[in-house]
Structure formats: C-alpha cells, structure tokens
C-alpha cells in the first residue's frame, strides 16, 4: 500500500475511521481494535466530534478495513514518517492528551492497552 502524501489524504482516512465507529458490527469492532492497540495517534475534531486516529491506519493512502486487513506490510514507523513530513512535526508524548485518550476510549467502550502513546494534535492547527 502507498503512504499518504498530503493533509487531505490524512483527513480522508480520519473521516473513514469516524464512519467505521458510527457503524455497528465488524466496522466498529475493527476501528475500536485499532484505537485500543494504537501507539501514535492523530487527534482531530469535526463538529465537536473528537477522534483519536491511529497512525498505522491513517498513514496509508485511501485506507479501508479491507485494505488494512489484507496489507501484509503495515508498519507504524513508515506511516509515522509520512505523517511527520505532512505535519512537519513528530508525535509527542503528553499526559494531558493521554488523559483525553483514556476518556475517549471510555466513551467508546474501549479498554486501552497500557502503552506509552504519542500524539499529533490537529485541533491546535484549527484554532
């Protein structure tokens, strides 16, 4: 699969993930598992709706559940690299964002893994 190369591709994948979370069944389960297992997240908000989008999903061009499941070459360091180029910044660890992530997971009924996570916060860009 090809890596994203623009902010619009990143935002399209975040929108796809949001859509999966709205659907019952396999799509929601898939998105929830990605969020639970994620290590690096792009945080975005649209119309007040928050989304913590795992870089390993949103970093591949026109990603979907089917494509992601059948992508045997998924690699977080590759997607992180693409996102770093697009956003001109590395993901950062943050206790404040970690607390927001845990609250987000609770609202979705997700029990997050105990990992050290890092974040890109696109909400700052929108301000």
- Domain residue ranges in the chain: 7-126
Going from the C-alpha of 13 to that of each of 16, 44, 50, 107, the distances in angstroms are 5, 11, 14, 21
Q: Are 116 and 38 contacting, i.e. CB atoms less than 8 angstroms apart?
A: no
Say yes or no to pLDDT of 5 above 80.
yes
Q: How high is the mean pLDDT of the chain? A: 92
Confidence (pLDDT) at 34: 95
> What is the average per-residue pLDDT within 78-98?
96
Lowest mean pLDDT: which of 62-66, 74-78, 98-102?
74-78
pLDDT at 124 over 80: no
Mean pLDDT, residues 91-109: 96
Compute the average pLDDT of residues 50-63.
95
Query: What average pLDDT does the segment 106-115 reach?
Result: 92
CB burial of 95-122 (b: ≥16 within 10 Å; e: otherwise) equals eebbebbeebbeeeebebeeeebbbbbb
The predicted pLDDT at position 72 comes to: 65
């Amino acid at each position: 699969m090809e890596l994203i190369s623009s902010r619009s591709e990143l935002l399209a994948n975040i929108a796809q993930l949001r859509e999966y979370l709205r659907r019952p069944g396999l799509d929601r389960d898939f998105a929830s598992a990605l969020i639970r297992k994620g290590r690096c997240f792009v945080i975005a908000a649209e119309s007040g709706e928050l989304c913590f989008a795992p870089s390993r999903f949103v970093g591949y061009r026109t990603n979907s559940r089917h494509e992601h499941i059948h992508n045997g070459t998924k690699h977080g360091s590759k997607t992180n690299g693409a996102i770093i180029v697009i956003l001109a910044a590395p993901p950062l660890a943050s206790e404040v964002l970690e607390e927001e992530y845990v609250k987000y997971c609770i609202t979705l009924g997700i029990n997050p893994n105990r990992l050290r996570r890092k974040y890109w916060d696109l909400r700052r860009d929108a301000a």
